[in-house]
Copies of this chain bind each other. A is one copy, B any other.
Amino acid sequence: MASREIYFCVLLAFAGILVSCDPVEQGELHVIHKRQAPAERPSCQTGAAVPETRVDTTTRLQAIRTLFPGVPGGAIHAYIVPSVDAHQSEYPSYYDLRRGYISGFEGSAGTAVILTNSAALWTDGRYHLEADENLDCNWTFMKQGLPGVPSISDWLVDQLKTTPGARVGASPFLMNARTWKSYSEKFAKSGIAMVEVANDLVDQIWTSGRPAQPNTPINELPMEYAGKSWDSKIGDVRGKMNAKGAAAYIVTSLDETAWLFNLRASDIAYNPFFISYAIVERNRVRLYILNHATKLTQEPTDAATTRKLYEHLNTGMGGSCASSTGSCVEVLAYTSNGIVAAVADIASNSSNKVWVSLLCNQAIYSAIPEAQRIHGKSAIALMKSKKNIVERAGMQASHIRDAVALINFLERLEREVKAGQPWTEVKAAVELKKERFKQELNRGLSFPTIAGSGSNGAIIHYRPTNVTDKQITTSDMFLLDSGGQYLDGTTDVTRTLHFGQPSDYEKECYTRVLMGHIDLALLKWPKGLYGREIDAIARAPLWEAGLRYLHGTGHGIGAFLSVHEGPGRISLSHNVNPSDEALEEHMYFSDEPGYYEDGQFGIRLETIVTIELAQTAHPFPNSVFLGFKPVTLVPYEPNLINFDMLGPKQIKWLNDYHKRVEQEVGPKLSGAALQWVKARTLSISNQSTSSATTYAPTALLMMGAAVLSVMSLR
């Protein structure tokens, strides 16, 4: 799935880290209608049709505003509703979609701000169309990232400038401490107070129709997939704590609790997490789990798991530990007050330093006196991102099974589309899902499948719906971005296909995306660089022709965890993300350049790669070189490659890659799917023409072209 450069920008801006989201790689494509008060929105003008997906928020807004005067400590004049949960999750549970409820817009990114007589919603370019449909005419629409759109804080300062003693409220659990601080400091300059509203106002009004809090079974991730015991991981965390002189580390991110304790659940769609916090101290570990009491003694629901939670955590059936040896995890009820009180209790000993990550929410952060607070990078994110030897084997094995599913599906799709059978994007997503579910150790998808035919492929985060569903034909490109969750790994792969005769321009675009994709995969670099320092390598072949893509080149990916995982990423960014880490061995990233032609087609090629030590011809003193090795093993689309544009190193990479596909995935295929792979993985030889004036080597698709011609006649 395309990495969220835009998302990260928004997240950072929201976190108060950027002054502005630089539009360079985020596009300046739609500079009209960028900031629309209700009366200015075309869909709110007299006679305009009301979109079917529009939500009437009038009653909800009235209800929340009636709570403004009664906020403890004094009336507030504005209330901020972010999109995240208390764990700052990119994807919260349905229960936690507060911003979706109050605004009607449920996209994964956005912030709602409600004043006494107005309301505004900010979201980024991915959602500009969707949000306009969802938001009713109570809302000013702020197209975040476009020039001229005010930041949330600037807008609030402007709106409240004539309100003496203005107070802006927000839940301290739903905003990270950095953002909170930046708002507070900015508002203070204009005499506006930032107020912690302990009892979230949306929680108070969202009384009917609210989804229940998630309550999915927790299963142990067995050692054969996790590769490292939870107490060994705790030991590593304690080592880092000691180096910093920290008495406690507070685990607030859901992928960190899942990883740390080798536990998985399904509290959040596509993300195998359970709602939780943890506190690691030198001789004590506490894990706060939503609905902990039933979870502790629940029978495992996953066949791979044989132990109940209390057995896995060496705890008693009630969740308590007999001794404080640290090799037992106390399991406690998950409550907002509980975690804050526990943190405050640790900090009540003034010699205790408490470490919290940059994503820690304001409620926990403010429970620690400043002098005792260590606020910085996560203790866990870096170690989690460097997969251990068992996880590495699992990532490769799960990617091979995932390739089997995708190849089986693609062979059938191509055959049936060419035979004139009706296929749509939605059908493709459904049928592909079935193939994944057939695979051993599959535990669902890692995100909703992006299947875009023709012009729908140009919408970077498109998800097919019954309204938008398009036919897959022999005359359109088809972009397919999908992934699975497996007990032994998480996958994410994009291939773009054409089952007919693409135009020369379509082939040029695809080939340039492929060239960047390969050039990045071929790169070797001295250890110590950050992804942002090598990202341009993947873009240069597109730039050469005046083309570009407005998203990042690569995101990290978890091992049966989140499909988007920090702390590293491969993305142009003018500003440094403070949680970013340098590229290291055994990290996993997507390599996914693309090109999108509005209204026409979209191309993206995404292969998961892992970082390994690179062999180099010469040594350099005290230097270690790193390089990428592909993990995803799915053939490319020869129909869309102009081989004349590829250089010899690119052709060699492609041949080596396809050879691996044939050798590693081939044995797990049979019949038509195996033939399909064999035809697409034949070695390409390049034969250069000699000419004093023409330098482009001519590459010939030899056997492969012949075989494919035959196939296309079927």
Contact = CB atoms under 8 A, between A and B. Distances in A.
A376 to B, nearest CB: 11
A267 interface: no
A616 interface: yes
B692 A690 contact: no
Interface string A616-657: 111111110100000000000000000000011101100000
Contacts of A688: 688-690, 697
A431 interface: no
Contacts of A651: 695
Main secondary structure of the interface of A (DSSP, over half): loop
Nearest to A575: B576
A614 B545 CA distance: 10
A279 to B, nearest CB: 27
A687 B686 contact: no
B692 A685 contact: yes
Contacts of A575: 576
A155 interface: no
B695 A648 contact: yes
Tell me which of A548, A574, A598 has the highest count of chain B C-beta atoms within 10 A of its own C-beta: A574
A526 interface: yes
A521 to B, nearest CB: 13
Nearest to A696: B648
A623 B545 CA distance: 12
A524 interface: yes
Interface string A14-44: 0000000011110111010000000000000
Interface in A653-667: none
A686 to B, nearest CB: 6
A224 B523 CA distance: 47
A525 B536 contact: yes
Contacts of A625: 543, 546
With most chain B CB atoms within 10 A of its CB, the pick from A31, A540, A649 is A540
Contacts of A539: 525
A545 B31 contact: no
A555 to B, nearest CB: 18
B686 A622 contact: no
A495 B108 CA distance: 54
B617 A528 contact: no
A545 B543 CA distance: 25
Contacts of A29: 621-622
A417 interface: no
A224 to B, nearest CB: 37
Interface string A527-542: 1111011111101100
Contacts of A533: 532-533, 535-536, 572, 574
A689 B686 CA distance: 10
Interface string A50-73: 000000000000000000000000
A547 B652 contact: no
Contacts of A522: 544
Given A652-B695, A688-B697, A543 B524 contact: yes
A537 B540 CA distance: 9
A22 B528 contact: yes
B574 A618 contact: no
A617 B697 contact: no
A548 B649 contact: no
A172 to B, nearest CB: 27
B619 A546 contact: yes
A135 to B, nearest CB: 25
A666 B575 CA distance: 46
A617 B545 contact: yes
A534 B696 CA distance: 25
A687 B685 contact: no
B524 A620 contact: no
Contacts of A24: 526-529, 582
A182 to B, nearest CB: 17
A27 B23 CA distance: 34
A685 to B, nearest CB: 5
Contact of A572 (B529, B535, B616, B689): B529
Contact of A546 (B523, B546, B623, B695): B623
Contact of A537 (B536, B572, B617, B697): B536
A543 B530 contact: no
A625 B540 CA distance: 12
A695 B690 contact: no
Contacts of A574: 530, 533, 576, 582
Nearest to A697: B688
A233 to B, nearest CB: 27
A582 B528 CA distance: 24
B544 A524 contact: yes
Contacts of A689: 688
A441 B622 CA distance: 47
A55 B529 CA distance: 40
A543 B540 CA distance: 17
Given A533-B535, A536-B536, A688-B689, 4 more contacts: A524-B544, A546-B623, A574-B582, A575-B576
Interface of A: 22-25, 27-29, 31, 522-530, 532-537, 539-540, 543-548, 572, 574-576, 582, 598, 614, 616-623, 625, 647-649, 651-652, 685-690, 692, 695-697
- 4 nearest interchain CB pairs? A546-B616, A648-B695, A688-B688, A24-B528
5 contacts: A25-B526, A525-B543, A533-B572, A537-B540, A688-B697
